[in-house]
Amino acid sequence: MNIITLSGLDLTLAAFLIFLLGVLSLFLRLGQTRQLFTASVRCTVQLLIMGLILKLLFAAANPAAIIIMAFVMLLSAGQAVTSRIHRPLAGRWWSYFFGVSAMFLSSFTVTLFALLIIIDIKPWYTPQYAIPLLGMLLGNTMTGVALSMDTLTTTVFQHKNIIEGRLMLGEKWRDAARDQITGAIRTGLTPIINSMATTGIVALPGMMTGQILAGSPPMVAVTYQILIMFLIAAGTGFGVILAVQITARHLFDHRHRLRLDRLSDGDI
Amino acid sequence: MHVFTIKNLQILDMPPFNLELQAGECIAITGDSGCGKSLFLRALADLDPNPGEIFLDGKASSSYHPWQWRRQVGLLPSESSWWLAKVEDHFPGEGANLYQQLTAIGLTANILNSHTHRLSSGERQRLSLLRLLRNKPSILLLDEPTANLDNNNSALVERILKKYQQDHGATLIWVTHNLSQARRVANRHLQFTKHRVREVKGI
């Protein structure tokens, strides 16, 4: 099967649709026109740069370069997590640190597991596999971690009276904040569970679609998609659980006191 | 019998102060809003960090597990919290014993089936008190326990507290805006002002 490469003109035509949406959003006074255009430009520039870097990486296949790349991706994901938390931990560094640690431990481990054991590609750092896999995992784990950390800090703040009421009755911090902790984990896990449940019926996943458009046989694309879904669910799950646990721990001190002074004032 | 000792407790910008309470004493705390009365109770329950020290029978709060300390030094907040759907969910175990305790605070077993958001303020406060007393605290920290109650409920709560104090030799630290209540229930009186805490002789 021939792969039809896209020309600059093809993409310009697609960009015209974004332009139309921008005009419509201006007309409806959504106040999002600027964000829409900035996001489109960022998307284009970032992907082009990523394309160039991948081209270089694929040519070199140097493990050191790939590991550096992986960490750059991780640290940017950490930045994205911090910016999505409405009431971050006081000293933004903490939110960043917890988010990055959770994503590192989950995404990196799951990616390595996939490369070394499941796909069993040699060498394991073959960039055609390592970078896209890590990217998919980090991207999804990031969303889950941000969502769950945001939910945790927000609900703990809102339910201060309940949590302290339970502490007053002699509960340990983990029991006193149990509802908020499980709620936050659940919120972080819901999107991936829902997307696994509806994938293939309601939506064709982007990765699979891309593979098929690029000429792969459907069954190959499907098996890869199933693998990716499982990896994403596991990576997101571990990452969310870890992020929520360490963040919750940080909101209480050794005397089991709720330390809301460790949350910044926030914007809600 | 327990002695409750407070050393160098620091509330807001006031100079550190000391206080010693014997078993079975009741001290009334009065003062304007914002003077730190609630913060004082929170510090005693070890809910906020404080440079001061608190001792129960000569043992520092830090030598207890925090959850053990808070079972011994029980704080009744001015607004009670209910985080489960029904009253009974907040009172696990203890069938017959619980019914007796409910009768003692003027309620029947029917209340256990009620939804917590449908309770009247009097019922809420009495149930909140019962929930706390089931920990058998030796020190009771009471943050305006009758502030939102009508006269009947107020008198009922006072009676429950005095009875618990007598039966268990408990020490009561009772924040109130009502001076006649302070005279009725307490044998000592601590006054909070913007700048300091002082004990008033003769209540």
pLDDT top residue among B71 and A195: B71
Q: Show residues of chain A in contact with B68, CB under 8 Å.
A: 170
Question: In the block, which residue shows the tokens 């971690």?
Answer: A145
Taking residues A64-82, report their average pLDDT. Answer: 92
Nearest residue in B to A252, CA atom: B47
What average pLDDT is seen over chain B?
94
Q: Out of A162, A256, A257, name the one closest to residue B48 (CB).
A: A257
pLDDT at residue A264 is higher than 90: no
pLDDT at residue B202 is higher than 80: no
What ipTM does this complex have? 0.95
Instruction: Count the Cβ atoms, other than its own, within 10 Å of residue A261.
Output: 11
Apex A14 CA angle, A11 and A20, nearest 5:
140
Query: Distance (Å) from the C-alpha of residue A156 to the closest C-alpha of chain B?
Result: 13
Confidence of residue A266 (pLDDT cuts 50, 70, 90): low
**Cis omega before residue B92 (within 30°)?**
no
Q: How far apart are CA B19 and CA B142, in angstroms?
A: 17
Query: Distance (Å) from the C-alpha of residue A5 to the closest C-alpha of chain B?
Result: 59
What average pLDDT is seen over chain A?
92
Those residues with Cβ within 8 angstroms of residue A183's Cβ, 6 or more apart along the chain or in another chain:
A151, A152, A155
Q: Show residues of chain B in contact with A162, CB under 8 Å.
A: 81, 83
Lowest mean pLDDT among A116-125, A170-179, B63-72: A116-125
Judged by a CB distance cut-off of 8 A, whether residue B166 touches chain A is no
Which of B48, B54, B70 is the best residue to mutate to test the A interface, defined by the most A CB atoms within 10 Å of its own CB?
A: B70
Q: Show residues of chain A in contact with B60, CB under 8 Å.
A: none
**Length in residues, chain B:** 203
Q: Model pTM? A: 0.89
Taking residues A44-70, report their average pLDDT. Answer: 90
Question: In the block, which residue shows the tokens 């300091």?
Answer: B196
Query: Distance (Å) from the C-alpha of residue B138 to the closest C-alpha of chain A?
Result: 13
pLDDT at residue B182 is higher than 70: yes
Q: Give the per-residue pLDDT at A159.
A: 97
Q: How far apart are CA A104 and CA A246, in angstroms?
A: 14
Q: Show residues of chain A in contact with B83, CB under 8 Å.
A: 159, 162, 165-166, 179
Helices (H), B45-142: 66-72, 95-104, 121-133
Is the Cβ–Cβ distance between B71 and B137 less than 8 Å? Answer: yes
Percent of all residues in chain A with a pLDDT value above 90, rounded to a whole number: 69
Find the farthest-apart pair of alpha carbons in chain B and give their distance in angstroms, rounded: 50
pLDDT at residue B157 is higher than 80: yes
As beta bridge partners, residue B54 has: B6
Confidence of residue B194 (pLDDT cuts 50, 70, 90): confident
pLDDT at residue A40 is higher than 90: yes
Taking residues A42-57, report their average pLDDT. Answer: 91
Which of A255, A256, A259 is the best residue to mutate to test the B interface, defined by the most B CB atoms within 10 Å of its own CB?
A: A255
Chain segment A95-129, per-residue pLDDT in tens = 999 999 999 999 999 999 999 999 998 898 888 89
Helices (H), chain A: 8-27, 33-60, 63-84, 93-103, 109-113, 127-158, 160-168, 173-176, 178-198, 206-213, 218-250
Q: How far apart are CA B41 and CA B73, in angstroms?
A: 10
Q: Give the per-residue pLDDT at A268.
A: 44
Q: Tell which phi-psi region holds residue B139, choosing left (phi > 0), alpha (psi between -120 and 50) or beta.
A: beta
Confidence of residue A57 (pLDDT cuts 50, 70, 90): confident
Query: Distance (Å) from the C-alpha of residue A164 to the closest C-alpha of chain B?
Result: 8
